[in-house]
Amino acid sequence: MKIKSVTSRDVAQLAGVSQSAVSRSFSPNASVSAKTRKRVLEAARQLGYRPNTIARSLITRSSKTIAVVIYSLDNPFYSSVLERASKFFQARGYHLQLFVAPLGKAFDEVIDDIIRSQVEGVLMLAISITRAQASEIAAVGVPVVIINRTVDYEGISQVSCDNYQGGYWAGQLLAASGHQRIAFLGGLIGSSTNEQRQAGFLSALAERGMTCHGVDAGNYRYEDARFATRRMFSAKQVPDAIFAANDLMAIAAMETLRHELGLKVPQDVSIVGFDDIPMASWPSHSLTTLQQPIELMIVKATELLLNQINQTESSPDHIKLPVTPMLRDSARSASISP
Amino acid sequence: MKIKSVTSRDVAQLAGVSQSAVSRSFSPNASVSAKTRKRVLEAARQLGYRPNTIARSLITRSSKTIAVVIYSLDNPFYSSVLERASKFFQARGYHLQLFVAPLGKAFDEVIDDIIRSQVEGVLMLAISITRAQASEIAAVGVPVVIINRTVDYEGISQVSCDNYQGGYWAGQLLAASGHQRIAFLGGLIGSSTNEQRQAGFLSALAERGMTCHGVDAGNYRYEDARFATRRMFSAKQVPDAIFAANDLMAIAAMETLRHELGLKVPQDVSIVGFDDIPMASWPSHSLTTLQQPIELMIVKATELLLNQINQTESSPDHIKLPVTPMLRDSARSASISP
DNA sequence: CTGAAAGCGCTAACAC
DNA sequence: GTGTTAGCGCTTTCAG
């Protein structure tokens, strides 16, 4: 799509100055006399001139753009992260380029695309990448920060919460409150968050001499979690407590139990989630869960990215933030004594 | 952030060809011999060369970028729209630039920013803009499509659903099923969707000789809607039915009634929403609502944008899609006979 | 089919 | 403070 555009040359001509004077007039701290700048700005206004960001990027070699890669916005947790991160970067003069990462092999093309775009940084939300992919990006020197996923590669910064501790807390709570058959409703198999939450959970049970009653997976999604719940409760021995790897699945389990299987939560089955999405606090659900410090995660992730971009601190870092238990009504409570 | 980058010149040198041969090798249908291309591609691989999108955009004058402007992602309806639109454009080789529009005056700066970015099209989600702002964008010749908001300006395409009809249906349903005091829980005051939904609703009531029991506003947001509901039900005469201008508010009302005020839905109060977000169908809410044809809206909006970009059909258009009533359990049902 | 040459619109030295 | 001069990395005539 080509449209006739007015260039700095046109403005220069109208204002009777050189083309570079126009350029300077649009640079915050360039040496131009107030008089010249005013003349230029006036001419620009008349012509409807606006500096071409692309040309500027080419020469300054800085696109002022951050790529944000997401897998899905189904989970309100990530749409919230995306919205806040956007505001954060926008406020600092950065543009955001959004990439929805497809599954599997096609992801490599997205990486390629991102690199070609000359972005200055990449923010990945819950994106699992391989070592090979990580090193490919790192090789071009673009700073990357991954939120909520771990990759075995030092060249990339990571910000996540203490998933293990969260899982541990959930296991401890459920075990301490007298549940006998505690099950795990897992997220995406193989994802680092899922494995860490599960590991913490299992170890808390083990400390009490308990084992997990059963494991099924809901891929972090609502519908899948409903199916998983039905499977879990079609067994002869049904769970009396569920720890779900995220809130969306915890709510799905709750809905299925209450409205499909005629069970009461928490009387018949206790449920604990993870994330603390807005719906978790809705009275209907009143979900006991582990709150991720979303605001802090974003601040850390964006700072990390910006620091690397500006070479302030060039070393990638791995940050692990604490989670906060939110005791609500979906799980029978009990005192936790380690 | 400047990093040493390998250019087409470097590749040309290594491959022993001219720089333009390199350029051609990376253009889908340029005339290069297979042999040359292979040599170039190999050299490029060795060097880790990737064409610089920015330089390309500068000369071709096409950024292959669409700006998407949102106000908030709180409402799952819009995060869903965003996700699908992203996939759609990505599949067609476009990049997406995300802008979170601030309220009020600062929006002008965002517009300016968008124009400078040389995007080829703008997709606005539920963004209310003034005539002046609309004409400013239209003046630079960038196609714009607004989803779910109307603006009194012909130069801009609009895609929305039949809000009036939806409101009318809600009014009719509630009036026909014997409710006596039907209230309206409005969205953002002054937004076109809110006004149209309200107008349709009121006219359905009027046809039955009824008036609206009361109006309050929840700004399309959960928390605000909860406050509004409390206000509505602190009056001496309380509503026995509520039509909320979107699902998020409808659910907020339901939560407040059931868990805070001890009222039953739908026995004491019927509730009808608008949008049909995923949560609406969750059994806990089982919300009767008007479904917006989200997939179709996106297809239409994106087609409209692409057509204008490619000059296939240059004329802006206003498209109004039908809504589909979703009868669930939050409102006492009744046969509707006009 | 291929190379040489001319810029896209702008910023950044460099003299004046 | 201002104009002049080089390019940024690439696509695109234009000859050959």
Q: Report pLDDT digits (tens) over A45-96.
A: 999 999 999 999 999 999 999 999 999 999 999 999 999 999 999 999 999 9
- Closest nucleotide to A9's CA, by C1' atom? C9
- % of chain B exceeding 90 in pLDDT: 85
pLDDT at A166 over 80: yes
Q: Report pLDDT digits (tens) over B203-248.
A: 999 999 999 999 999 999 999 999 999 999 999 999 999 999 999 9
pLDDT at B104: 74
pLDDT at A335 over 70: no
The angle, 0 to 180 degrees and rounded to 10, between the axes of the packed helices B34-47 and B8-15 is: 120
pTM exceeding 0.85: yes
Q: How confident is the model at residue A336 (pLDDT cuts 50, 70, 90)?
A: very low
- % of chain A exceeding 70 in pLDDT: 96
| CB proximity A56–strand C (7 Å threshold) | yes
| Half-sphere exposure (Cβ direction) of B119: Cα atoms closer than 13 Å | 31
Separation in Å, CA A41 to CA A6, A21, A50, A202? 14, 11, 10, 66
Chain A window 258-297: which residues touch B at a Cβ cutoff of 8 Å?
258-260, 278-279, 282-285
Measured in whole angstroms, the distance separating CA B329 from the mean position of its chain's CA atoms is 27
Chain B residue closest in CA terms to A55: B58
B80 interfacial to chain A (CB closer than 8 Å): yes
Helix, strand or coil, per DSSP, at residue A284: coil
Question: Taking Cα atoms as reference points, which of B180, B150, B179, B146 lies closest to residue B164?
Answer: B150
Q: How confident is the model at residue B2 (pLDDT cuts 50, 70, 90)?
A: very low
What pairs with residue A145 in β-bridges?
A: A123, A157
Please give the helix or strand (H or E) that residue A67 lies within, else none.
strand A65-70
**Summary mean pLDDT of chain B:** 93
A64 interfacial to chain B (CB closer than 8 Å): no
Q: How confident is the model at residue B3 (pLDDT cuts 50, 70, 90)?
A: low
Q: Report pLDDT digits (tens) over B159-212.
A: 999 999 999 999 999 999 999 999 999 999 999 999 999 999 999 999 999 999
pLDDT at B4: 63
pLDDT at A290: 98
DSSP 8-class letter at B312: S
pLDDT at A225 over 50: yes
pLDDT at A292: 98
Please give the helix or strand (H or E) that residue A182 lies within, else none.
strand A182-186
- % of chain A exceeding 90 in pLDDT: 85
- Residues A37 and A17: their CA atoms lie apart, in Å, by 10
Q: Report pLDDT digits (tens) over B7-54.
A: 999 999 999 999 999 999 999 888 899 999 999 999 999 999 999 999
Only one residue has tokens 């297809």, namely: B299
Q: Report pLDDT digits (tens) over B291-318.
A: 999 999 999 999 999 999 987 666 778 9
Separation in Å, CA A77 to CA B210, B266, B290? 42, 30, 26
DSSP 8-class letter at B63: -
The three-point CA angle A96-A97-A103 to 5° equals: 135
pLDDT at B5: 83
Could you tell me how many CB contacts below 8 A there are between chain A and chain B? 151
Tokens of A136: 């490919």
What mean pLDDT comes out for the span B136-140? 86
CA distance A210 to chain B (A): 33
Q: Report pLDDT digits (tens) over A228-245.
A: 999 999 999 999 999 999
Q: How confident is the model at residue A338 (pLDDT cuts 50, 70, 90)?
A: very low
- Residues A33 and A21: their CA atoms lie apart, in Å, by 10
Contact call for residues B236 and B207 (beta carbons, < 8 A):
no
Contact call for residues A335 and A176 (beta carbons, < 8 A):
yes
